[in-house]
Structure 1
Amino acid sequence: MSAYTVVSLPGDGIGPEITEVAVAALDRAASVVGGLTVNVDAHDASATRWQRTGAAMSEETFEACWDADAILMGAIGLPEARHPDGREVNGDVIFRLRFALDLYAGIRPVRSLPGVRPTLAASDPIDYIVVRENVEGLYASRTGGTNVRNEVATDTIVITDTGTRKVSQVAFKLAEGRRGRPLDGRRMVTCVDKANVLSSYAFFRSVFDDVAKEHGEIGTDHVYVDAMTAFQVQRPSHFDVVVAENMFGDIISDLAAATVGGLGLAASGDVGDEHGMFQPAHGSAPDIAGRDRANPTAMVLSAAMMLDWLGRRHGDDRALRAAELIDGAVLSVLADGGTVTADLGGTASCSAMGEAIVGAIGA
């Protein structure tokens, strides 16, 4: 018997709608597998809460996230909910959890999906993972930059040996468990940086190269970030696992999602040595909130990633099987194409597509 406590943070906009679908998928997969219980403890952490109370997340919710086996986040943020300096309030939740729980590796898989219209003219198959360093880089200055008389503003990039080493190790471990890049099946880790211009990125590369020496069976490559954005469009089959500093990883992971159909399909996990948080890569889409139009795919795939992470962390075959069932159900519904949302060319509502996914689990 396996039992996990998951804190859900449905958030703002479409967050509650897609979270409802993901929780239903978790319940169904656990029931089909048997001997697996996922207890979901919902908390309010949101821009809406900030507007109402002045705090986006309570200390009680933070403690619950700390104690949970995993965190499942919907979508947090509203464009009008901003601090006086212009920063969006969503960082009060997302960044606090990433930094306080040391969720140093942002894992963002991208792959060609059945039934989804190709975005690129090139017919190369796409199947790679972007590993984003999550707690350093340029984003480490999120609340520590300077603004002098509203005339001069500065932020400082932070690259450490420890942080770069840890995220690089995650990238190589992921590569060890994969089938290699679509081009030729070769297992590869690509370091994306701007080492030709900035010493901070040259340092990032040097630490990456040092870690690579411990993984001689895995090939390595280096790509400057500007070239990377071109290669993601022109030759995506060349990539297997990609690792990058925080801001660069943020940018190239969104581009990666766009190449396979958009952020509505993009799952992600933020993981550390002790904690894990899983969420879709897209935002809260307040323009369609409450209209039952959101695509739940990314959220459901994030829930599958969460189960996979729990299964690997605890050596739990039940959780791993449940993750496979959810992933397979999503692929089946996408391939069929009859019950998909408007962004995928269909006419189904969020709830209808969710019901189709849940119904396909174990079918």
Structure 2
Amino acid sequence: MSTRIPATLIPGDGIGPEIVDATLAVLDALGAPFEWDTQIAGLEGVTQAGDPLPPATLDSIRRTRLALKGPLETPSGGGYRSSNVRLREEFQLYANLRPARTIVPGGRFDDIDLVVVRENLEGLYIGHEHYVQIDDDPHAVAMATGINTRAGCRRIVEFAFQHAIATGRRKVTIVHKANIMKALTGIFKETAEQVFEARYKGRIAMETVIVDACAMKLVLDPWQFDVVVTTNLFGDILSDLVAGLVGGLGLAPGANIGADAAIFEAVHGSAPDIAGQGKANPTALLLAAAMMLEHVQRHELALRLRQAIQDTLNVDQVRTGDLRGSASTAAYTRALVARLKG
């Protein structure tokens, strides 16, 4: 019997518990080695512990250094910050990894297989914002400060090149806006070029693309891209765009990776409007679980899981409503489990 791997499990809010239950059933059928420590966060954390990120949850992730989480809802009002942002900051999860791979063929784009690597801790998302009052308008001027550091740029670019080479990719595209934001994203472009010249030239191809041109090229000819690495704001936008190429956020997994911890998730929201109705598609979280298996070097299990998902959707034609099917969450889960056990 393989060694058990401790991991934190956060069911989350809205459809979170449903898709987490589905994922656990599938991982159990797969024989995945995780030993779960279930914790709460988001709205459930506020309800039960008065904190969207309770100390027990943070302590669990510090111990396991590995987590799978459902979508979290940030309570409105009360001054609560996003639990997702707090988790990234708490554990210095500087790399957001968002693969996009065609699973259901026949859409606008077929045979998509690319990865967006997004810097997770810097840029315009650091939250340094304020208003300036003029006359009787307290919000007359809004100001935001973005910060990119040489060290932060180097760290994410190194991660992107190393991930690309380790996974057999052919090219890394550096996405920036250095023609306008010459300092804030100029440092990112400059650092990426320096890292490439010093360590990766001759091992993999590299190009630089301005972000607006990149967005256009992604919808005109996405096959020209392989691994895209960019700053926080641009990565947030482009990773959702790329998810749209393969069918939407219901098929989009994500990983937040740092030196000491990694958290895997479905990148879609908690969808409270369909919670408890058996309509949720757990595929994004299942694909995140496959990434988690790869992270702990269980590549054969990740491969089996992805193959079972592909066969269930395309051979068995068992699909949830968002993929123009009629299967409930439970029926889709049963079909996946049957695939893995059959």
Normalising by structure 1, what TM-score?
Answer: 0.87
Matched, 1:356 2:335: yes
Matched, 1:205 2:184: no
Aligned to 1:286: 272
Q: Is the 8 A contact 1:76 1:90 kept in 2?
A: no
Aligned to 1:59: 55
Aligned to 2:135: none
Which of 83, 86, 102 is residue 77 of structure 2 equivalent to?
83
Aligned to 2:246: 260
Which of 159, 163, 166 is residue 155 of structure 2 equivalent to?
166
Q: Is the 8 A contact 2:45 2:54 kept in 1?
A: no
Q: Is the 8 A contact 1:47 1:90 kept in 2?
A: no
Aligned to 1:245: 231
Q: CA deviation at 1:359?
A: 2.1
Q: CA deviation at 1:9?
A: 0.9
Q: CA deviation at 1:243?
A: 0.2
- Which has the higher mean CA deviation after the structures are superposed, 104-113 or 151-160? 151-160
Amino acid at match of 2:188: F
Aligned to 2:179: 196
Aligned to 1:68: 64
Q: Which runs of 4+ in 1 moved over 4 A?
A: none
Distance 1:117 1:342 in 2: 16
Identical amino acids, percent of aligned pairs:
36
- Which has the higher mean CA deviation after the structures are superposed, 281-290 or 330-339? 330-339
- Which has the higher mean CA deviation after the structures are superposed, 244-253 or 329-338? 329-338
Structure 1, residues 189-242: CA drift from partner, whole Å, max 9, x if none? 001110110021111000011111211111111111111111111010001100
Which of 308, 314, 319 is residue 340 of structure 1 equivalent to?
319
Distance 1:227 1:119 in 2: 20
Q: CA deviation at 1:7?
A: 0.7
* Superposed counterparts of 1:1-363, under 5 Å: 1-30=2-31, 37-51=33-47, 53-77=49-73, 81-83=75-77, 89=80, 91=82, 93-113=83-103, 115-120=104-109, 125-141=111-127, 144-148=128-132, 149-180=138-169, 187-198=170-181, 199-213=183-197, 214-216=199-201, 217-311=203-297, 319-361=298-340, 363=342
Distance 1:191 1:274 in 2: 26
| Structure 1, unpaired ranges of 5+ | 31-35, 181-186, 312-318
Structure 1, residues 136-158: CA drift from partner, whole Å, max 9, x if none? 111112xx422343333322111
Distance 1:160 1:346 in 2: 47
Normalising by structure 2, what TM-score?
Answer: 0.92
Q: Is the 8 A contact 1:46 1:90 kept in 2?
A: no
Structure 1, residues 30-81: CA drift from partner, whole Å, max 9, x if none? 2xxxxx6311111111224325654112111111111114110100016xx2
Distance 2:81 2:240 in 1: 18
| Structure 2, unpaired ranges of 5+ | 133-137
Q: CA deviation at 1:5?
A: 1.1
Structure 1, residues 174-202: CA drift from partner, whole Å, max 9, x if none? 2113344xxxxxx1000111011002111
Distance 2:60 2:100 in 1: 30
Amino acid at match of 2:282: P
Distance 1:173 1:334 in 2: 32
Q: Is the 8 A contact 1:116 1:261 kept in 2?
A: no
Structure 1, residues 66-115: CA drift from partner, whole Å, max 9, x if none? 1114110100016xx22356xxx571x211111111111000001121x3
Structure 1, residues 113-166: CA drift from partner, whole Å, max 9, x if none? 1x344134xx5x31110000011111112xx42234333332211111111111
SS in 2 for 1:99: helix
Q: Is the 8 A contact 1:77 1:90 kept in 2?
A: no
Q: How many residues align?
A: 333
Q: 1:249 to 1:2 in 2, by over 3 A?
A: same
Structure 1, residues 240-273: CA drift from partner, whole Å, max 9, x if none? 1000101110100001001110100001100011
Distance 2:45 2:141 in 1: 32
